[in-house]
């Protein structure tokens, strides 16, 4: 099942060091790169069908082509390595195991979009990882792949690591920009989109680590070689993180389009402890949950996930066994998003707190059926009424648990009813 | 650890040591605006002192050439900046989805018992502080614990026992 494009060298000793990485072909695409016109590089990426691997799945080459031409302003690239969506841990492997693949990707993207200052925004919790990344960047500078003349060509590129400090919302691209500018991470209203007015008000491209790391393969082997894998609309491979109640949790690189349950069984060893499957979160905690019967028919690509009314997201698959209390899980989710709300918009700041209070009340067997209905109603009232989608990242999954596992919420309410009856 | 609005004064002026001073000067050349140094400067302070005092914030504002209120705004917004001294061993337990599913509560309960503090507290001898944090990005090796920035994966009570024994 596995197709190792990005993870080809993850298991090799010292693959993160430039000496070993070069043996694996790191930086070998640069001569070809500088012999091409920048717009041809963008076209190549467009033709490969590579989609943004941060969660939204927007075609990368198309995003680059939104940059306005000749504005007289510098163009910036920021690599989104915030990776904070619960159940997502794929980019970390690239940062630690093969960082030169990503740095080469940064050079490729920067050349295509005309960027001379790239920033990697890495989440603050990645303490050991930021050191590994900085060491790789230092190696690339020492070897002449970064700096005043990239690989001897007349192209200047500086790459700077900018550390976040514990805010989930900074994975949202405009909050990320605010954070690099030294402000608190509160998302901006859009439009204007970052491609037009991004970092320091200049045209800016923001791409996920995995998106950027996919570029050397595409440049080296061509768009068709990339499209061999995956489906027509979701080409290529993806680093899937499988966690939760499976025998072998971990990171697996797979082509897009494989059946979800088969992947869980064959790669991750199936549901642990011989238990039954209760549900699957397909792409990070913000994606709506799938019932076992839905999981049977869904495949791991953007289109199939949308057809099943959920999202591909970040490829962070969470398996839930039959013992999971969905009301408690919902509390855990709301707790997270409420904690991470930046506080800018009232529906999110106050609404998620209200939802948390209600679910706590239900869990304490103190709730009524009206509380369950109110929780469901709040989802509709909060969603899409805020500057960014953080609140929707909470309400979309919560709504799915309320709709698919409503009986569990009602069971808590019933305990309350019987307690009330006893009290009489 | 919960009140992020109170600043603590040391009563002594702060300044970067030689190494941090050089790193500050290296980094500031990388940004077109000096305000971009607010987060990096706060990290440098925390690396040096373990936490960020009122004097250190004022120093950062002066070095950057910005208002102290802007530094304060960032320092209080981003939860990884410690606004008071932490335990010598700062233990963070991930409480989010995958770690929750694979038994983070057992880990927290054991630590509470063993160290005798609640999440958000520092032990009287200053040896430990405990915190429950949101997703640490190690879901495939859950549950995960971070001690002074080092990750410990696939944790269980037995592993925790041996880990605690190594912490002084």
Question: To the nearest whole angstrom, how far is the Cα of A234 from the nearest Cα of chain B?
Answer: 24
pLDDT on residue B154 = 97
A419, pLDDT greater than 80: no
Residue A13 lies in a domain: no
Tokens 């013992």, residue? A323
In CATH terms, B89-166 corresponds, of 3.40.50.300, 3.90.550.10, 3.90.1570.10, 3.40.30.10, to 3.40.30.10
- What's phi and psi for B50, nearest 5 deg? 90, -15
Residue A381 sits in a domain whose CATH number is 1.20.1440.230
In this structure, are A341 and A419 located in the same domain? Answer: yes
Q: How do beta strands B89-94 and B128-133 pair? A: parallel
As a CATH number, domain B18-77 is 1.10.10.1590
In this structure, are A264 and A399 located in the same domain? Answer: no
CB contact under 8 A, A184 and B40: no
What domain range includes position A155? Answer: 18-227
In the listed set A268, A289, A321, which residue is the last one of a domain according to the structure? Answer: A321
CB contact under 8 A, A92 and B137: yes
**Cα A398 to Cα A289: distance, rounded to the nearest angstrom:** 9
A18, pLDDT greater than 60: yes
pTM given for the model: 0.96
A263, pLDDT greater than 60: yes
Of A313, A78, A74, A53, nearest in space to A176 by CA: A78
- What's phi and psi for B142, nearest 5 deg? -75, 150
Instruction: Kindly tell me the burial class for residue B60, based on how many C-beta atoms sit within 10 Å of its own C-beta (0-12, 13-18, 19 or more).
Output: buried
B-facing residues of A in 162-221 (CB < 8 A) are: 162-168, 179-185, 200
Nearest to B97 among A86, A160, A163 (CB): A86
In the listed set A204, A227, A250, which residue is the last one of a domain according to the structure? Answer: A227
Number of cross-chain residue pairs from A and B with Cβ atoms under 8 Å apart:
150
Q: What residue ranges of chain B have pLDDT lower than 50?
A: 1
Mean pLDDT computed over A138-163: 98
CB contact under 8 A, B40 and A163: yes
**Cα A335 to Cα A124: distance, rounded to the nearest angstrom:** 20
Nearest to A184 among B30, B66, B77 (CB): B77
**Cα A294 to Cα A260: distance, rounded to the nearest angstrom:** 10
Q: Nearest 10 degrees: CA dihedral of A41, A43, A48, A49?
A: 130
Split at pLDDT 50, 70, 90, the class of A381 is: very high
Of A323, A281, A34, A282, nearest in space to A150 by CA: A34
Domain boundaries, chain B: 18-77, 89-166
Give chain A's domain count: 3
CB contact under 8 A, B31 and A160: yes
pLDDT on residue A423 = 74
Mean of the per-residue pLDDT values of chain A: 96
CB contact under 8 A, B98 and A244: yes
Tokens 């989440």, residue? A123
Question: To the nearest whole angstrom, how far is the Cα of A92 from the nearest Cα of chain B?
Answer: 8
Is the CB of residue A336 less than 8 Å away from at least one CB of chain B? Answer: yes
Residue A263 sits in a domain whose CATH number is 3.10.20.600
In the listed set A321, A355, A388, which residue is the last one of a domain according to the structure? Answer: A321
pLDDT on residue B1 = 43
A46, pLDDT greater than 90: yes
Residue A232 lies in a domain: no
CA A380 → CA A363, A392, A396, A399, distances in Å?
A: 22, 9, 9, 9
Instruction: Kindly tell me the burial class for residue A69, based on how many C-beta atoms sit within 10 Å of its own C-beta (0-12, 13-18, 19 or more).
Output: exposed
Residue A361 lies in a domain: yes
Q: In this predicted model, which residue has the larger pLDDT, B1 or A401?
A: A401
Question: To the nearest whole angstrom, how far is the Cα of B152 from the nearest Cα of chain A?
Answer: 12
Question: To the nearest whole angstrom, how far is the Cα of B90 from the nearest Cα of chain A?
Answer: 13
pLDDT on residue B4 = 83
- Taking CB atoms and an 8 Å cutoff, what residues of chain B touch A241? 139-140
Residue A37 lies in a domain: yes
Mean pLDDT computed over A75-95: 97
Residue A384 lies in a domain: yes
């Amino acid at each position: 099942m596995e197709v190792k494009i990005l993870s080809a060298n993850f298991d090799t000793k010292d693959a993160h060091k430039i000496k070993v990485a070069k043996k694996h072909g790191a930086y070998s695409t640069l001569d070809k790169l500088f012999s091409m016109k920048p717009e041809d590089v963008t076209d190549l990426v467009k033709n490969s069908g590579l989609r943004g691997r941060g969660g939204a799945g927007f075609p990368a080459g198309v995003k680059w082509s939104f940059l306005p031409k000749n504005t007289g302003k510098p163009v910036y690239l920021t690599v989104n390595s915030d990776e904070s969506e619960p159940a997502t841990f794929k980019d970390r492997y690239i940062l630690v195991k093969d960082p030169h693949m990503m740095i080469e990707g940064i050079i490729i993207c920067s050349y295509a979009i005309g960027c001379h200052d790239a920033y990697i925004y890495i989440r603050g919790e990645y303490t050991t990882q930021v050191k590994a990344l900085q060491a790789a960047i230092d190696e690339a500078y020492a070897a002449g792949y970064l700096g005043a003349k990239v690989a001897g060509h007349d192209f200047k590129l500086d790459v700077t690591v900018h550390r976040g400090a514990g805010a989930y919302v900074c994975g949202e691209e405009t909050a990320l920009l605010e954070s690099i500018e030294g402000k608190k991470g509160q998302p901006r209203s859009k439009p204007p989109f970052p491609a037009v007015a991004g970092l320091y008000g200049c045209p800016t491209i923001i791409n996920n680590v995995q998106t950027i790391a996919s570029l050397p393969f595409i440049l080296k082997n061509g768009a068709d070689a990339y499209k061999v894998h995956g489906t027509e609309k979701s080409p290529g491979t993806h680093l899937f993180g499988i966690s939760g109640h499976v025998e072998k949790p971990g990171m697996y690189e797979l082509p897009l389009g494989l059946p979800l349950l088969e992947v869980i069984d064959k790669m991750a060893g199936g549901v642990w402890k011989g238990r039954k499957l209760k549900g699957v979160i397909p792409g990070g905690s913000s994606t709506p949950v799938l019932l076992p019967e839905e999981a049977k028919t869904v495949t791991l690509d953007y289109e199939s996930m949308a057809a099943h009314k959920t999202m591909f997201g970040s490829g962070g698959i969470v398996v839930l066994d039959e013992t999971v209390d969905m009301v408690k899980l919902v509390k855990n989710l709301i707790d997270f998003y409420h904690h991470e709300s930046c506080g800018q918009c009232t529906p999110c700041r106050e609404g998620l707190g209200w939802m948390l209070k209600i679910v706590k009340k239900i869990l304490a067997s103190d709730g009524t059926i009206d509380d369950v209905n109110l929780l469901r109603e709040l989802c509709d009232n909060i969603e899409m009424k805020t500057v960014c989608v953080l609140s929707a990242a909470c309400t979309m999954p919560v709504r799915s648990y309320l709709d698919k596992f409503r009986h569990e919420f009602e069971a808590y309410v019933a305990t309350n009813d019987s307690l009330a009856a006893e009290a009489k | 650890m919960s009140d992020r609005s109170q600043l603590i004064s040391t009563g002594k002026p702060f300044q970067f040591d030689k190494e941090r001073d050089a790193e500050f000067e290296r980094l500031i050349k990388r940004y077109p605006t000096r305000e971009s140094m607010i987060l990096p400067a706060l990290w440098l302070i925390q690396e040096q002192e373990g936490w960020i005092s009122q004097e250190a914030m004022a120093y950062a504002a002066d070095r950057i050439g910005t208002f102290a209120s802007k530094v304060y705004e960032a320092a209080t917004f981003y939860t990884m900046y410690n606004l008071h001294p932490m335990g010598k061993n700062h233990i963070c337990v991930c409480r989010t989805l995958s770690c929750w599913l694979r038994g983070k509560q057992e880990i927290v309960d054991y630590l509470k018992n063993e160290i005798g503090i609640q999440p958000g507290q520092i032990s009287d001898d200053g040896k430990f502080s405990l915190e429950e944090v949101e997703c640490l990005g190690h879901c495939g090796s859950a549950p995960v614990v971070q001690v002074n920035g080092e990750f410990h994966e696939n944790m269980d009570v037995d592993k925790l026992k041996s880990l605690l024994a190594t912490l002084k």
